Amino acid sequence: MRVFYISFLMLLSTVSIGAQTLDECRRLAREHYPEIRQYNLVTRTEQFNVSNAAKAWIPQVVLSGQATYQSAVPAYPEALKNMMQANGVDMSGTGMNKDQYRIAVDVTQNIWDGGQSKASRAMAEAEAAEQRSRADVSLYDLQSRVDGLYFGILLLDERMEQTKAMIEVLGSNLNRMRTYHENGVALQSDVDVMEAELLTAQQQLGQVESSLTSYRRMLEIFIGRSLISDKLERPVMPIIQDYTSTRPEFALLDAQENRLTAQRRAINSSVMPRFGAFAQGYYGYPGLDIFKDMTSTEWTLNGIVGVRMLWNMSAFYTKNNNLEKISIAQQQLAVQREILQFNTRMLTTQDDGEIARLRKAVENDARIVELRRSVRMAAESQLKNGVIDATDLLRKITDETTAALNRNMHEIELLQAIYKLKHTLNE
């Protein structure tokens, strides 16, 4: 019992991974397509950029060291030296050394950056959203290619089946024609015509099989695995209720608009003053007490704290031009949106017209096939009685086969047209 259960589960797993349905092929193609890896990369990049923007509020620490030799240093004025010497103070050689040394630590804390860090965070998020939208557009186009291959295989399958059916009918009538020829009812030319038509049909079957193999191999490349069944499952007839398009191109335009808005905020923040607190501590010579250092060369600890304002006035030079560039880019996006809306309406109208045409054709196909079959069967009796020749019978067989093929092809084409409309609407 346990072995049976395990075998059953293995069978289910095997069936579940088979790319036999359109939805399954879409899913596998999406997972296999290299573009899907962009999502993870974009997310990681966004996290790093946002983290960097947030770190602008962390105290900035700089460690530095320097050694210098100066051509001139502070010294006591001669009048002061003379006065001090007159009072018995030895002033010979008094003054700072020209070689000076320092090891310092500078700490800066941002108090207000004019909105720069917030703008940087918004830019990082907007750029990541735009990249994800571009990946969505690429995957959206991928779905269309997969659908085309899938329905192409279905159409070729139907053509192959109808060709096989035609070969079977032609083979049966060829045997019958040979019998008629042996009995003196038909001419050898009638047998030859029937045999030539059969060979032509077999040749067409080989061409269809070759095209079908190519289509299946291309679909296997997209989904990343072999098709486990000889036939793909025909999708169910969908129902479209909402004609509002949600194509990813619209989301991409929205993302680009958000990025431009973030850029505008960054430009406005670039002309704002910055306020920050700072502290500096250093060990070296000379220190902050200049007079002491003029009489001593000992290294000392020194410190400075304060508040600083920085205002980059040069940012005003290009602010207006940069804002105008943003406005022009936004206008371009508006034009692109109108073009996309126009093209979507055109495609929707075109798809609707094609669906209406195919629905009408499907309604008449069943009756046409029935009539063509009746005519063909009557022609076979007429041939037996010598009323018509083999050429007339072949014409009737071809008409019946074409009618049956058209019926099945129209059904698949109708499905394809509806799914094409669904793709246009991204439903």
Res 14 pLDDT > 70: no
Give pLDDT, residue 92: 64
% pLDDT > 70, the chain: 92
Under the banding of pLDDT at 50, 70 and 90, the label for residue 68 is very high
Q: Which amino acid is at 394?
A: L
**13-22, 120-129, 327-336: lowest mean pLDDT where?**
13-22
Q: How far apart are CA 240 and CA 142, in angstroms?
A: 22
Give pLDDT, residue 258: 93
Give pLDDT, residue 229: 67
| pTM for the predicted model, two decimal places | 0.76
pLDDT in tens, 132-159: 898 889 889 989 899 999 999 998 988 8
**Buried b / exposed e along 194-213 (16+ C-beta atoms within 10 A):** bbebbeebeeebeebeebbe
Let me know the angle formed at the C-alpha of 47 by 44 and 49, rounded to the nearest 5 degrees: 110
Q: How far apart are CA 316 and CA 359, in angstroms?
A: 64
Q: Break the chain into its structural domains and give their ranges.
A: 26-58+113-273+311-425, 60-112+274-310
Give pLDDT, residue 279: 93
Mark residue 114 as left, alpha or beta (left: phi above 0; alpha: psi -120 to 50; beta: remaining).
left
Residue 250: which residues within 8 A CB-CB, separation 6 or more? 337, 340
Mean pLDDT value of segment 104-119: 88
Give pLDDT, residue 66: 92
Under the banding of pLDDT at 50, 70 and 90, the label for residue 214 is very high
CATH match of 26-58+113-273+311-425 with 2.40.50.100:
no
pLDDT in tens, 384-420: 776 676 777 777 877 887 888 888 888 888 999 999 9
Q: How far apart are CA 388 and CA 180, in angstroms?
A: 13
Q: Got the DSSP string for 233-264?
A: PPPP-----------HHHHHHHHHHHHHHHHH
| Cβ-contact 284, 100 below 8 angstroms | yes
Mean pLDDT value of segment 125-129: 89
Q: How far apart are CA 405 and CA 421, in angstroms?
A: 24
Tell me which of 274 and 390 has the higher pLDDT.
274
Mean pLDDT value of segment 171-190: 80
**72-76, 235-239, 309-313, 362-366: lowest mean pLDDT where?**
72-76
Highest mean pLDDT among 275-284, 310-319, 360-369: 275-284
- CB neighbourhood size of 245 (10 A): 17
Give pLDDT, residue 91: 67
